[in-house]
């Protein structure tokens, strides 16, 4: 049997894996991580869901994700674990280093002649900053919604129908949700422009995105790595070029790399 040829990538960014919850697609993430050899792996927050962590639910597939990441670090990959809101208990240990593993709250990297700023993005979420209990309740509700959605898709697949995402329908169908996502992206990009960064890379909102933001103060590329609950997506950078990876689990286990066009949009503040 021929061994799989692993793709070599300069920088890989994943976020919002939510290990320890029903919605996490751990097997698919392991498939992806075992198919690549990254020089740098950035875990951009909410990798382990400490908010909803239960001793009775942490299956072997979730533990295998942790082991796979540790194996990458052992074999030379530089791993940055950036804390998010669901794993914010780790923030007390920020700036911890262990061989190729670094725990931090944010990261600045030079990619070619460009400067990239990485952070989870929960600092822009007022519900987390001002009403932590409400945010935790929302996280529990989201996990239950994803579990219900899995049952629905199991039924749809056996009826020969296409899968359906309830959460995505809400995000794209409710005006307040659409506005929240747009405001999040604009604030992150505008703050990056003010501080002189060429790229700003976030997670948190589970919305994979690559777009160019143009304001009176400058231009910045906003990127979001999505999640491994719904989108099953990651950002990849090779030779200075960003791509969005999307994992599709079908009978033939097809995976694709999509070069998403950078759509230029002006900031709402212009």
Cα–Cα distance between 28 and 34 in angstroms, integer? 10
Per the CB < 8 A criterion, the answer to whether 46 and 18 are in contact is yes
Identify the sign of the CA torsion 129, 104, 12, 19: negative
Q: What is the pLDDT of residues 99-143, one digit of tens each?
A: 999 999 999 999 989 999 999 998 876 443 444 434 444 555 566
- pLDDT for the residue 267: 53
Question: For residue 234, what pLDDT band results from cuts at 50, 70 and 90?
Answer: very high
* Domain annotation covers residue 2: no
Q: Which of 147-151, 203-207, 223-227 has the lowest mean pLDDT?
A: 147-151
Question: For residue 169, what pLDDT band results from cuts at 50, 70 and 90?
Answer: low
Per the CB < 8 A criterion, the answer to whether 250 and 39 are in contact is no
- pLDDT for the residue 32: 96
Question: Looking at the predicted structure, is the pLDDT value of residue 183 above 60?
Answer: yes
Cα–Cα distance between 112 and 93 in angstroms, integer? 30
- pLDDT for the residue 201: 97
Question: For residue 55, what pLDDT band results from cuts at 50, 70 and 90?
Answer: low
**Which residue(s) pair with 236 in the sheet?**
12, 243
**Which residue(s) pair with 199 in the sheet?**
116, 221
Q: Which two tokens stand for residue 136?
A: 């935790």
Residue 230: helix, strand or coil by DSSP?
Answer: coil
214: containing domain: 7-266
Question: Looking at the predicted structure, is the pLDDT value of residue 203 above 70?
Answer: yes
- pLDDT for the residue 153: 67
Q: Which among 246, 242, 269, 270 is positioned nearest to 256, based on CA atoms?
A: 246
Q: Where are the alpha helices (DSSP H) in 94-239?
A: 126-130, 132-158, 166-173, 175-194
DSSP letters, 18-80, are -BTSTT--HHHHHHHHTTEEEEEEEEES-SB-STT-BTTB--HHHHHHHHHHHHHHHTT-EEE
Residue 111: helix, strand or coil by DSSP?
Answer: strand
Total domains in the fold of the chain: 1
Q: Which among 175, 224, 232, 234 is positioned nearest to 203, based on CA atoms?
A: 224
* Domain annotation covers residue 102: yes
Question: For residue 167, what pLDDT band results from cuts at 50, 70 and 90?
Answer: low
* Average pLDDT rounded to a whole number, residues 181-207: 90
- pLDDT for the residue 195: 93
* Average pLDDT rounded to a whole number, residues 40-66: 86
More confident residue, 139 or 248: 248
CATH code of the domain containing 235:
3.60.21.10
More confident residue, 187 or 8: 8
* Average pLDDT rounded to a whole number, residues 219-236: 94
Q: What is the pLDDT of residues 12-28, one digit of tens each?
A: 999 999 999 888 999 99
* Domain annotation covers residue 136: yes
Identify the sign of the CA torsion 179, 149, 27, 85: positive
* Average pLDDT rounded to a whole number, residues 135-158: 62
* Domain annotation covers residue 57: yes
More confident residue, 56 or 35: 35
More confident residue, 248 or 118: 118
* Domain annotation covers residue 1: no
Torsion of CA 5, 7, 8, 14, to 10 degrees: -140
């Amino acid at each position: 049997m021929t061994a799989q040829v692993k793709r070599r990538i300069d920088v890989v960014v994943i976020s919002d894996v939510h290990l320890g919850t029903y919605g996490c697609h751990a097997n698919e993430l392991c498939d992806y991580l075992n198919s690549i050899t990254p020089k740098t792996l950035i875990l951009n927050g909410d990798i382990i869901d400490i908010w909803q962590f239960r001793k009775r639910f942490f299956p072997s597939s979730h533990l295998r994700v942790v082991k796979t990441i540790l194996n990458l670090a052992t074999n030379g990959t530089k791993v940055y674990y950036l804390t998010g809101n669901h794993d914010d208990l780790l923030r007390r240990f920020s700036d911890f280093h262990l061989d190729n593993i670094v725990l931090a709250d944010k990261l600045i990297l030079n990619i070619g002649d460009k400067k990239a700023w990485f952070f989870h993005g929960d600092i822009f979420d007022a519900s987390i900053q001002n009403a932590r209990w409400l945010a935790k309740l929302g996280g529990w509700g989201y996990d239950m919604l994803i579990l219900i959605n899995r049952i629905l898709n199991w039924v749809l697949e056996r009826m020969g129908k296409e899968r359906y995402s309830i959460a995505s329908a809400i995000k794209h169908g409710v005006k307040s949700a659409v506005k929240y996502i747009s405001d999040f992206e604009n604030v992150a990009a505008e703050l990056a422009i003010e501080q002189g960064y060429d790229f700003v890379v976030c997670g948190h909102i589970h919305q994979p995105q690559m777009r160019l933001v143009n304001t009176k103060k400058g231009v910045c590329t906003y990127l979001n790595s999505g999640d491994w609950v719904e989108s099953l997506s990651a950002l990849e950078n090779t030779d200075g070029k960003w791509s969005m990876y999307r994992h599709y689990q079908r009978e033939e286990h097809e995976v694709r790399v999509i070069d998403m066009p950078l759509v230029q949009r002006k900031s709402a503040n212009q």
